[in-house]
Chain A
Amino acid sequence: MIAPVQPNADLIAAVQPLIPALRRYARALLRDRADADDLVQDVLERAMGRWHQRREAAGTRAWLFAILHNLAMDQLRRRARRGAAQPIDAVPESLLAIPPGQETAVHTGDILSLVSRLPDEHRSVLLLIGVEDLSYAEAAAVLDIPLGTVMSRLSRARERLRAMIAEEPHRAPALRIVS
């Protein structure tokens, strides 16, 4: 067995603050807490192994999100092949493991279940840009697509989500609360 790689102080200072966001993106994509945390652990192992290969410090966030995104897509493809994925509508919201007790919890389940029905390419731009606050250029780097494609995907994803919300008018008031 290979000895575990030791993170150096630079790596800890740069990576540790980003772990909560990585967990969030992983959980939003995989919709399972344990799977998501396992995936983040995998990302951290790889980041430690390849730390000296990363290009510049400014891009550490995009670099980590790219590693995570690619691993998550692999996992989603494996799930689809196994047929293990349940019909998306049947995935219980509890799998998202959002702590209860918040007034917004009822409403937030709605938006999460709608977003989970979007294709991965749409879901990922909404999450990377809207939730993780990546710049459009960082998102392009993470997804390995041109900037123009990021913008058109973002536009389409937002429109598609709007159409889904419009089809379910009872959900709309819940969404308005947080605007």
Chain B
Amino acid sequence: MTDAPVTETELQHYVDGRLPRDRETAVTAWLAARPEEAERIGAYRSERDALRAALAPIAGEPLPAELDLNLRRHRRPHWLSARGMTVAASIMLAFVVGGGSGWMLRDRAAPPIVGTAALAREAAASYAVYAGDAARPVEIAATGQLELDRWFSRRLSRPVKAPDLRAAGFDLIGGRLIATNFGPAGLYLYRDASGASVALYLRPMRVQGTDRMTWREEGAVRGWTWADDGLGFGVFGEMPADRLHSTADMARAQFRRA
């Protein structure tokens, strides 16, 4: 297949990152020899990324009550049991309180939060607690990365390795294990030259083994979540969406290659 001519359809797949590995290599080499084509395809990728980033926040908005199917279940009078009312009230309260404090109500609010939405909350909460901890943000520092990776691999039951995010300006400072309702999770913390931190959070997913990259806002802490092959990921911080996005892309690419 490597010798097959490059098609326009393949170039579109390439823009979307949907080519099989061998063809991706072939197309990359083909583009490297053709600067004009490379510029065109690069422009398509920029368009796509800009459009995604521009629209990402909409999907992160809280769902209004009219669009919440869980509330519809409780709409008819006989559904309006005491529990239904409590549920509706706590959801309303969660909307009103919003932001960072909303998540504390999660156990009482009706819609069970699972999948990468749950992961987003855990990741944002872990970031908020540990990234700002001047004394001991991590359990094992980056100097012990081998030990850290081995620990995570054992607890998450699969080989895990801290991705290299230096190309995004982030150095690994270390990591720690996090306890969640869904079992252990790993938290890698990175920092850039200006002192800004980013957290890479990962744990096995029971419900949503695969999920595309999704923008999440948990108060001031924001980031991207995705899931691949039964492992869920979150990249969270307090920086602009596009920087978090490119960092998340970089981490995802390394996990996919591994």
Residues of A whose CB lies within 8 Å of any CB of B are 3-4, 6-7, 11-12, 15-17, 19-21, 23-24, 27-28, 37, 40-41, 44, 48, 98-99, 102-104, 107-112, 115, 126-127, 129-131, 133, 151, 154-155, 158-159, 161-162, 165, 174-179
Nearest neighbor of A6 in chain B, beta-carbon distance: B73
- In the complex, 16 of the A-B residue pairs with CB atoms within 8 angstroms, ordered by the A residue number, are A6-B73, A7-B69, A7-B72, A15-B69, A21-B59, A23-B59, A28-B55, A37-B66, A48-B72, A111-B47, A151-B8, A155-B8, A155-B9, A162-B44, A175-B46, A179-B50
User: Taking A6-B76, A7-B73, A155-B12 as contacts, is the C-beta distance between A23 and B241 under 8 angstroms?
Assistant: no
Interchain pairs with CB closer than 8 A, number: 140
Q: A155-B11, A175-B50, A179-B49 are in contact. List 8 more A-B contacts (CB 8 A).
A: A24-B59, A37-B67, A102-B241, A111-B50, A130-B51, A175-B47, A178-B50, A178-B242
Q: Is the CB of A104 within 8 A of B72?
A: no
Q: Please name all residues of chain B whose beta carbon is closer than 8 Å to the beta carbon of A11 when the two chains form the complex.
A: 69
Contact (A4, B70) CB under 8 Å given A104-B241, A108-B53, A178-B49: no
Checking A17, A27, A99, A158 against B44 with a beta-carbon cut-off of 8 angstroms, the contacting residue is A158
Q: Which residue of B lies closest to A133 (CB)?
A: B212
Chain B residues near A48 (CB-CB < 8 A): 72
| Contact assessment for A131 and B51 in the assembled complex, using a CB-CB cutoff below 8 Å | yes
Q: Which 5 A-B pairs have the closest CB atoms?
A: A108-B54, A20-B59, A179-B46, A24-B58, A103-B240
Q: Please, which residue of chain A has its CB at the minimum distance from the CB of B59?
A: A20
B150 lies within 8 A of chain A by Cβ: no
Contacts A107-B50, A133-B212 given: A41-B45 contact, CB under 8 Å? no
CA distance A167 to B174 in the complex (A): 47
Rounded to whole angstroms, the CA-CA distance of A155 and B41 in the bound complex is 10
Interface majority SS (helix, strand, loop, mixed), chain A: helix
Contacts of A108 in B (CB 8 A): 50, 53-54
CB of A176 within 8 A of CB of B16, answer no
Q: In the complex, A38 Cα to B71 Cα: how many Å?
A: 16
Kindly state the separation between the CA atoms of A15 and B67 in the bound complex, as whole angstroms.
11
**Residue B115 lies at the interface, judged by CB distance under 8 Å to chain A:** yes
Contact A115 B67 (CB under 8 A): no
Q: Which chain A residue has the least Cβ–Cβ distance from B40? A: A162
**B53 contacts A104, CB within 8 Å?**
yes
Closest A residue to B52 by beta carbon equals A131
Query: Does B75 belong to the interface (CB within 8 Å)?
Result: yes
Which residues of chain A come closer than 8 Å to B59, judged between CB atoms? Answer: 20-21, 23-24
Contact present for B76 and A4 (CB under 8 Å): yes
Using A104-B241, A175-B46, A175-B47 as known contacts, say yes or no to A98 and B67 having CB atoms under 8 A apart. no
Most chain A beta carbons < 10 A, residue from B47, B70, B72:
B47
